[in-house]
Structure 1
Amino acid sequence: MRFLVISHAPHFIKEGKIYAYGPLVKEMILWEKRVGQLVVFAPEMEATADPINIPYHHIQTRLSSSPSLNFTSPGNSLRSFFKLPWIVLKMWIVMLKADHVHLRCPGNLALIGCFLQILFPFKKKTAKYAGNWDQDSPQPFSYKLQRWILSNTWLSHNISVMVYGEWPNSSKNIKPFFTASYYENDFISFQKPAIQKGISLIYVGGLFAAKNPMTALKVLELLIHKGEDAQLVYCGDGSERSQIEQYAKTNNLGNQVRLLGNVSAERVKEEFIQAHFLIFLSDSEGWPKVVAESMSWSCIPITSPVSCVPQMVGFGERGKLVTNDAEKIVHEILELKNNPVELELMQLKARNWARQFTLEKFGEELGKLL
């Protein structure tokens, strides 16, 4: 079987191997094991040593490079407009040759794929909508358009659409799904540091304004002002890093903050084991893997109630749902610190729930869609 993946995630080739963003590749490896050949239609970028990128496994996997699309400025929009005919033609050709088409939505290339898949009503197709499927949430028009096409069974035939969470009034081709980060044997025994000896906070993800990484730093500052011994580690990089570094320096927080940049999944796991609370306040998400990952290591997520996140944390049983308010977040943290029985129970519930979703189980469910 020739399995085609259409993705906006940049890929690169290094020493004969195809590399891309680690969490995406981990999932694609599960498809690789179940198909004859995997073809990835995606933008190609220059090789990098960033540890967040990992290689595909199968020697039969191929990269069909596409020009990237960018509509963030008039100049980029004009250039992208002239690229469109070539992209549409090339995508149509690779779709024609494929036995199964898999769309990674939402994204610019996936939007084109959503239109082109209409021309292949008898071809087996799947789509992974990694964004927020909540129809009442504010989203870009292109995201709403992709969601509408995929859920319209008159336009989209023979396609299963994986979405995060369970949503009422969904069409019959919509499949509530999950994602995973760990294999069963990744769940090693561990000892969580005693919170009474110091509160450990962690932020994992891109350091971008839409994810509100500065709030984690302000939570740390308030905890210290209240006399708490607290530490914060950032795993991730982005445009907000310099602002975070400057704020930490100006407010004498440098000794309590570590910015690790992009690090391997193994290093993130080590940091989760040491941390008591994940501060994750993204404005928009699908199924944030870092929330489930933190729960796997008894690190309680303090998170915004977007998309299916309330379902993930059991509407407050396995984590705390908060607004982007540092004072209220500090209150929630201190409430749990001062109630060790409640904290331990929440850690247990979080760990037991998150560890259901292994890569083995994920692979089994993906296999049913072929």
Structure 2
Amino acid sequence: MNSRPSHGHLLIISHTPHYRRDGEIVGWGATVREIDYLATLFERVVHIAPLHADAAPASALPYQSSQVRLRPVAPGGGARLRDKLSIPLRYPGYARAILQERRAADVIHVRSPANISLLALMILAMLRGPQVRWAKYAGDWNRTGPEPWSYRFQRWWLAHGLHRGLVTVNGRWPNQASHIRSFLNPCLTEAELKEGADASRSKRLGKPVQLLFVGRLESAKGADVCVETVVHLKEAGVAARLDLIGEGEERRVLECKAIDLGVAESAKFHGGLPRERLGQFYARAHFILLPSESEGWPKVLSEAMAYGAVPMASAVSSIPQYLNAFSAGHAINSRDPHLFGSAIETYVGAPALWKEHSMNALKAAKQFSYDNYLRAVRKLLNLPLSLECDVADSAEPEFQGDA
């Protein structure tokens, strides 16, 4: 990780969950890794985010950078009605933390959508400083289906630039305003890219076909569709093995489903695992499955692609744009397991096509490196480039047909 001299103070406001584990603070692993890299660009980073009393998941990580300080706030929101009604009670504490910490900030970075980010965006509309403001919308920027009203409102607010700053989104959309920038979600170190490239060289599409799901074990993420896809392949005479990594309230239901459908031996549930243990699964996988109802651009696709796994995902948000640009995998316009199974069968009948898409995925994954991300953030925020930066690199996706 680069630790060159940095520029000013960064204030981050997000709903990233944090926990206490063995006397130290840990947070959602993917976000903690990203912030550790962001910290190399700044003298100090303050992160306002909720601190939960629950046990930390296996994927949670401590910050490695000494320049990062967590300003904890109380969690708010949830699935139950009483949890939703408690949100306004949290706002005074959120506002106090934001107003106190913003005084020393040179750059404010708000990660949306979330309840605390909604308040932060509204506060920014009333403040004169700091002038450098960057909002990241991590969800589906072009969502048309059901969703929380606050998500739709935050997109409207950001689209109209009422926070008076930049917005980064997944994908590229019609009539995209100049303050809205297409941006890639970073998730890969140079060491992980090398490890993935080494693993992919010897990978061939054989039997059984290795399928992988990484995420929350719930129907919204499509874990049930993955199990049913194994059933379809079995009925089609294609031997397949599915590894499911993650936790969720529906895990027991899904395990029973696999038993009832007769694929318990082919669908293995591993629970939540830390990032350093995922490499072996990515290296083994022929396909990464994500039949999700809603996404922005899921980092698990990028991580698996770095190991030559071919993505098979729902055609939501930016996923069809990216997979078409990368010529890798399929974005499927349904969460029907028969369609996912049929797409996999196509590759089984054409292993050379699978290998081509596997290599395309491997090549595309390089765009999701942290090094590429830091160069793009410097350009986005107009920070001075370090000597080793290649100004031609960018964290904007390389869409086919772009000028």
TM-score, normalised by the number of residues in structure 2 = 0.86
1:130-279 equivalence runs, <5 A = 130-134=138-142, 136=144, 138-153=146-161, 155-157=162-164, 159-186=165-192, 187-188=194-195, 189-190=198-199, 191-279=201-289
Q: Partners of 2:142 and 2:97 in 1: how far apart?
A: 32
SS state at 2:48 partner: strand
**1:330/1:41 Cα in 2 relative to 1: closer, same or farther (>3 Å)?**
same
After superposition, the C-alpha distances for 1:182-239 in whole angstroms (9 at most, x for unaligned) are 1223222125554333111111111122112111111111212233221110011111
> What corresponds to 1:35 in structure 2?
42
List runs of 5+ in structure 2 lacking aligned partners.
1-7, 384-403
> C-alpha displacement at 1:97, in angstroms?
3.5
Which of 129, 133, 138 is the aligned partner of 2:137? 129
Which of 19, 23, 28 is the aligned partner of 2:26? 19
Q: Partners of 1:3 and 1:281 in 2: how far apart?
A: 36
List runs of 5+ in structure 1 lacking aligned partners.
none
> C-alpha displacement at 1:14, in angstroms?
4.3
Contact 1:163–1:177 under 8 Å retained in 2: yes
SS state at 2:367 partner: coil
Letter in 2 for 1:358: S
**1:52/1:338 Cα in 2 relative to 1: closer, same or farther (>3 Å)?**
same
Is 1:341 the counterpart of 2:349 in the alignment? no
After superposition, the C-alpha distances for 1:126-164 in whole angstroms (9 at most, x for unaligned) are 1111011115454322112111222223x332x221111
Q: Partners of 2:85 and 2:349 in 1: how far apart?
A: 57
Identity %: 28
> What corresponds to 1:57 in structure 2?
64
1:321-340 equivalence runs, <5 A = 321-322=331-332, 323-340=334-351
Q: Partners of 1:95 and 1:9 in 2: how far apart?
A: 18
Q: Partners of 2:202 and 2:256 in 1: how far apart?
A: 31
Q: Partners of 1:122 and 1:170 in 2: how far apart?
A: 26
After superposition, the C-alpha distances for 1:17-74 in whole angstroms (9 at most, x for unaligned) are 4311111011101111111111111111237453201111222322211122216444
After superposition, the C-alpha distances for 1:65-101 in whole angstroms (9 at most, x for unaligned) are 1122216444223433333223223322222332221
> What corresponds to 2:117 in structure 1?
110
Contact 1:125–1:160 under 8 Å retained in 2: yes
Q: Partners of 2:88 and 2:256 in 1: how far apart?
A: 39
**1:76/1:140 Cα in 2 relative to 1: closer, same or farther (>3 Å)?**
closer
Contact 2:12–2:108 under 8 Å retained in 1: yes
Q: What do you get for the CA RMSD once the two structures are aligned?
A: 2.0
**1:171/1:313 Cα in 2 relative to 1: closer, same or farther (>3 Å)?**
same
SS state at 1:63 partner: strand
Contact 1:17–1:56 under 8 Å retained in 2: no
